[in-house]
Structure 1
């Protein structure tokens, strides 16, 4: 079942209750996600994981809770089959209110952001217009 909280109309109290419950159990969720990533490493599963991360961030889960996945997330940009989901997740990550709350966390991401230049150069070399334009607009956001 595909649930997207950004499409469900909830009252503030319902959203708060759901967010609290998700935050309370998020360490278990994160441990399970890490197990799935290390054990299965299948594109369709990883795609769903990144999609879920995006939705959880939109829903208000703190970026600090997924900090352990940052390296894996950025490295997954190199996989063409995961690019769209990873790109969406990073877009949510960098445009979340947490981006301003935790400058030291985001400053640690600078080496990963710098790798965007390498990926953009690769896209220009091989002529991948979709990926190239995605990165261009990501940089403008």
Structure 2
């Protein structure tokens, strides 16, 4: 199974990711976030509010890591740079694709310009088995 297929399987089985990033003072922060999938991007995204502290911290330090799966069993560790995508005409199709899931989940009818998408530009992927052993390690170009 390719690493992308494995990641999709894990995201469907465990739809919450642990997002780790550093604040402006260099202290680590961990948040549990719902994973949103984008076929257009071929990767996973997270949606946050512009008014959140995470938004300011990620704009200040784009390095981060996301863990998809169970920390006590099978999971994948993704690390790289996090890109912040704001709603604009060029991103409208992407936002509609991702937001259709969010709007349905929260019973909303329209996208909010207050929301942004966080996109992980993955550099390293480690896939860990249920026995807690690295079964695949990929360097992404």
What is the TM-score of this pair, normalised by structure 2?
Answer: 0.29
The structure in which a higher percent of residues are helix is 1
- TM-score for both structures, normalised by structure 1: 0.29
> As a proportion of its length, which structure holds more strand?
2
Greater RCO, CA 8 A, separation 6+: 2
Which protein shows a greater Rg?
A: 1
